[in-house]
Each structure stands twice: as C-alpha cells, then as structure tokens.
Structure 1
Amino acid sequence: MAATSAAPLSAEYLAEDDSGKLITVMWVSTVLPVIFVCLRVYARLVIRKTFGWDDGIAIAALVCLIGYAGVVTAAARLGLGRHIEVVLATNPQHLIDIALLAQISQTLAIMACTLGKTAFAVTLLRIVVQRRLIYVLWFIIVSMNLINVLCAIFVFVQCDDPRHLWNQAIPSKCWPTYVFTNFSLFVGAYSGAQDFVLALLPWFVIMKLQMKTREKLAVALAMSLGIFAGVTAVVKTTFLVNLSKKTDFTLALPPLLMWAAAEDGLALVAGSIPTLRPLYKAVFPGTSAGDSYKNVDSYQLRQPRNNGPIFGVVKGASHISAHQRGAEADDESDKSILDKSYSGVSLTNIKKTTDVNVSYAGSQ
C-alpha cells in the first residue's frame, strides 16, 4: 500500500496566534479588579473603619484571579493560542506543560469566580433585614461554593493518575469525557443564574430604604452591575460546549479562558463599586447625597434569636435588632415620631411642652 502524506499546512494557518490577545485580555480583566478592590479596602478600612468578611473574601478572590492570569500568561509564552502542530514542532514538552498549566488555571478561575460572587452575597447580608431574603442569600452562598469547590476538585480527580490529564503517555483509567464536561456546563449555567439573582436582590432592599427616589435608583443600579458578569458567564458556557468538540485545544482554549477572566473580573468590580461611596464623598464632600445611604455603605449588625451577631463586632458599634433598625430607617418620616407602635417596637410619643412666663408690670 502506498503511503499517503498529509497536505502541507499553509503559511496563514501556521501564523495564526492568539497568545498576545490572550495575555492582554487576561491582564486587563485583572488590573481593573485590582484597582477597584484596593479602593474598596481603603474606603472600608481607612474611611469607614468597617472592614468585614466580604472584603476579606474579595481579596481572596482577587488573589486567585491574579494567579489565574499569571498561569495563563506562562502557558501563552509556551504556545497557548497557537495551533497544536506549531507547538509540537517547536517543542513537544511545551504541549505537556501547557496542558498542566491549563488544569491549574481552571481551578484558579473557578475559585476566583465563586469567591467574588460570595463576597457580593455577604455584602448584601449587611443590609438585608427580611428573613426570607437572608435565607435566599445563604442558600446561594452555600450551594454556589459547594458545586464550584466540587468542580475545582474534579479537575484533578478525573483519572486515577492525575498526570494522565496533561501527559497522555502516562496510562490511567479515567472518567468518561462527558461526565466532567456536563458537570462543568451545569456549574457554568448555575453560576450565571446566580449572577442574575444577585443583581436583582438589591432592588428589593434598596427600594424600601428612606432615601430619595433618584438616590435609590443610583444605588440599586450600582449594586446590579453583576448582571454583566452573568452575561459573560452565558457566553463562557457556549465556548465550553464548543471546546469539547475540538482537538486543536491550544487554539480553541483561549476564548474560554478570556471569557472566564472577564466574568471573574466583572464580578469583583461590580461587587466593589457600591462600597466606594465613602471614598466618593471624601473626594467630593459637597455632594447632596446626605447620610441616607448609611444603610448601604456602613456595617449593619443583626441581633438574631440567640443574641449573637452574624458578623464580627465593629469597634464602637452597638448591637441593634432588626425591628429597631427598621424604626431607625424611618427616622426621616413622621411615622417614627407620631405612632405608638412601629414594626412591633413600642415607641413613646413625642410630647410638646410649652412653658409660658407671664409678667405683670405694676403702675408707676
């Protein structure tokens, strides 16, 4: 039988290279969150002195995102973003290294995603007083972390010998390919759905605050920017579907990595913007926003039935119940000073006492 030779690859095919674009998108998607998270930490730690769990989680998410960008950059330097034939022709070992770095980057991207969204959910817990919304937020936090952590673990436990994942020469028994692919699709869809839910929840909270309508809309819109992260999650999931159908993974993988970085970065930026109002007031002290935003950018403490705070104690702050906070939230209306009962809290009517001094002038 006569041997058949493969058709020569065109110069245009060999010249295709997305590595430069990949590196640029990765670091743009990382530098912006770095700026916003640093401003967030300054506003919370220096100006408001209300640094909380959500801020710490946001920092952890940022660390994962920076690590993700660094690992992907290293893979791009080895040939990620070019055709697999080019990588093999350059150095076959580079293909193994790229596959290993891709596995590591996937785990970092998953953790940056779930921590960024968890940080925003914990921020909402600071201002939510309705019990049903608190339950919804805790369900989102627990379920989102559970499935994302499982996904991060599954990245490396698909094969009895994990080295087979980046070096096909090492024999190992592995799961069917569709198992992890389908689970990843579920995680991506669920993550995007949570972005939309977290973007809508602030409207149920902000609209009940004692604020001007214009200010309510501004704050609610600022806290709903996570909807853009949800859109990127949907797009990322479509690339995940297409990736499973391609064998030239070194060129097919970059779009998925870029959309994942965009989702993670947008989640951190959107979660940080609402916390920057104290910084805005410090820079522009003449603004007319007033103090009616304090429910949003200050540390809200709740007094549950067991009399223990949900979050850590803020120095100088006192514990108040949800009902008491409800009364204080209405301190700009007549309701809190005229009614004897407000939200189940007994209030004392304001009594006006007028002292009249009468003096008589005697005749001279």
Structure 2
Amino acid sequence: MTSDVSASYLAESRSSTVQGVMWVMAIVPLAFVCMRLYVRVCLKRVFGWDDFIIIIAICCLVAYAAVCHVASTLGLGRHFAIVSEKPEHLIDVALLCDIGEALAIMACTLGKTSFAVTLLRIVVHRWMIILLWFVIVTMNLVNILAALFIFVQCKDPRHLWNPAIPSECWPSNVFTNFSLFVGAYSGAQDFVLALLPWTIVWNLQMKRKEKLGVAFAMSLGIFAGAASIVKTTYLVALSAKSDFTWELAPLLWWAAIEDGLAITAASIPALKPILIRVFPGSSARQNYDMISYPPDSSQQKVFDNAQGETQTDIGHATIHDKGSQTAVLETQSPGKGDESINMTTEISVTFNRS
C-alpha cells in the first residue's frame, strides 16, 4: 500500500504538534483554575456552583489531552497509508479520537457554563437573566446531543472504530451537518458571553478606564469564539475521511485551543486578589473596585451570594445592597449608667434593579 507514495509523504507527521498543543492548552488553564480556587476557597472562603463546574471542565480537558497524547503515539497525526500497516493501531486511534471528541465537547460546554453561572450572580436586569438561562440550557442540550451522536451514529457503535464489524449507520452528512451547526452555535455563544459584561459594566459609576479594564477581563471568551470558528472550518475537510488520521489532528488541537481559552477566560475575572498581592503598591484595588471600603474592611467576612447573602463578588467589582451599619457600644461609665449609641454610615455605589 505504501509503495505508491513518496518517502517524504510517509515521513510527514503532526503527532508532536498534537502533543504539544494538547498539553499546553491543558496545563495553562489548569494553572488558572488552581489560582481561581486558591482565591475562592483560601482567600475568600467561598465556593459556588461555577467553581464546581469549572473543576469538572478542567478534568475533562486534561483527560482529553491524555487521550489524544496516547492516540498520537499510535498514529494520530500520521497519514492513513502508514498507520493502516498496523490495523490494530488504526482501530485504537479511531476509538481514542471518538472518546477525545466527547471529552472536548464537554470541557468546552462546562467551561462556558461556569462563566454564564458567574454572570448570573451579577446581572441586574431580567432580560439578562433570561438570556443567560437560555444560553446555559441550549448550550448544554446541543453539546450533550453532539457528544452522544458520536457514538449512536451506528446501531453497533463498534463499527465507528472498526469498519470490519457490520452495522447500519446514518448517512455521513447528517453528523457532519449537525457538527457544523454545533460549532457555529458554540462560537455565537462565546461572543454573547463575551459582550454581555460590557452591557453590565458600562452603566456603572466608574471611570472609563476602569470600565474598560473590568469589561476586557470578563470578555476574553471572545478568543474562544474565534478558535471555534477556525475549528469548524476543519469539519468540512474531515467529512470525506479519506485520510482521517492526518486530517483529524488540526480539528482536535483547535478544539483543545477553544476549550483552554474558554476555561481560562472563565477563571481570569476571579484573580484580582492575587494581582493585588503581587503588586501591593499598584492601583489595582482602586481600578477594579466599584466601591471604597473603610480602613478596617479587611476584617469583614466575605460571603458568596450564591449562598443567599447580599454581597456579590465578581473578582473585579463588589456590589452591596445596603451600605450602613449600626454599632451599640458598651456603657462608658458603668457606675453612672451613662450609655452611648454610635451610628456610622457607609456610602456605597448602588443602582436600581429592574
């Protein structure tokens, strides 16, 4: 089989690129998720649903990188003509790639879901809440179906990685067209989740420079949307599957790039306390806090409003529903029964909820 092709063709390999991209796009987001959890659990003593979801997402992404690494050692990234010399390797590559695709879909979905849940804690308009829930529900429904369709295209799923096993299957264009729709819809959701923070932040009483900093930090998911568009273009080239071990490699690593960017973008807004610790003399606190705290604010306990409290922290901004407190002091002169009540008022930025 290999005698009809040139030696340079057979020597071509994308395997090392697959391994490098996969692990970079798994380790970098993992570092950001670890920093996010350090801030949330160790510094702020809070843990929300968005944190739990992002943990599952990064686990799926690391598993995806590991599966693709093993597949690349067996032939992923090499031409079909050379991999087919060992049929058992060809079967293993096909199986691992199917498993990897499902893991990539779930990592991407959960990363975006985590960020959407974070936004749910800070939005103030009803239409934003409805939009976010629509994105969360439809995004998970469409992507879960996409992950399932990988394995249910044939009555006997084993036919997908071992064509020697006979089975009735869907027409090849059905799954390809659905995958194109999922890729386009996923990219559109990235842009929605990236642009929504601008609507939230721009109406707040902050300096323009501060608004730009906060909004940009919460809009990095737009790069995941760009990666999703590039990934979708490779689906068309893959539809023929004439050289799938070679053609599948770019699709898989662009999926890893999209996943890694989505998870990283969902974690960055929570890292303000680390920025303040790294640059203690900078203006990071003033640039990213919507309100000013009194000098002893470090003694105040921070609550996550996901647990029913009135304070919401988004990593770069804090919103209070109430900004006053009353302190009743003990008797200054117990012998005379002279009691004193001291009331202090804290002024904070507030806005109306609609």
TM-score computed with the length of structure 1 as normaliser: 0.81
Shift in CA distance, 318/233, structure 1 to aligned 2, threshold 3 Å? closer
- The equivalent of 2:246 in structure 1 is 251
The correspondence for 1:16, drawn from 12, 19, 33, is: 12
Partner Cα distance (1:134, 1:237) in 2: 29
Match of 1:173 in 2: 168
**1:63 is aligned to 2:63:** no
Equivalent residues in 2 for 1:10-89, closer than 5 Å = 10-89=6-85
| Structure 1 range deviating more: 194-203 or 270-279 | 270-279
Q: In structure 2, what is the Cα distance between the partners aligned to 1:171 and 1:331? A: 73
Match of 1:111 in 2: 106
Q: Which runs of 5+ in 1 are unaligned?
A: 302-310, 337-341, 346-364
Distance 1:135 1:16 in 2: 50
1:260 to 255, 259, 264: 255
Which residue matches 1:199? Answer: 194
Mapped to 1, the partners of 2:93 and 2:221 lie a distance apart of 31
Contact kept in structure 2, 1:211 and 1:293, CA below 8 Å: no
Q: How is 1:183-262 mapped onto 2 (pairs within 5 angstroms)?
A: 183-262=178-257
SS of 1:127's partner is coil
What is the deviation of 1:289? 3.8
CA 1:242–1:229 in 2, change beyond 3 Å: closer, same or farther? same
Q: Deviation of residue 318 (structure 1)?
A: 4.8
Query: 1:282-337 CA deviation, whole Å, 9 max, x = no partner?
Result: 232333244684569x7663xxxxxxxxx334xxx4589xxx95675x9456xx7x
**1:99, 1:179 → 2: CA distance?**
19
Are the counterparts in 2 of residues 199 and 227 from structure 1 also a CA contact under 8 Å?
yes
Take 1:294 and 1:146, find their aligned partners in 2: how far apart are those partners? 36
Kindly, what percent of the aligned residue pairs are identical? 57
CA RMSD of aligned residues (A): 2.5
Name structure 2 gaps, 5 residues minimum.
292-301, 313-318, 324-345
CA distance in 2, matches of 1:226, 1:250: 30
Q: How far off is 1:49 after superposition?
A: 1.7
Q: 1:50 to 1:8 in 2, by over 3 A?
A: same
TM-superposition CA deviations, 1:87-133 (whole Å, max 9, x none)? 122x2100001000011001000000100000111111121111110
The normalised TM-score by structure 2 is 0.84
Total equivalences in the alignment: 317
Deviation for aligned residue 1:214: 1.4
Deviation at 1:170, TM superposition (A): 0.5
- Which residue type is aligned with residue 233 of structure 1? S
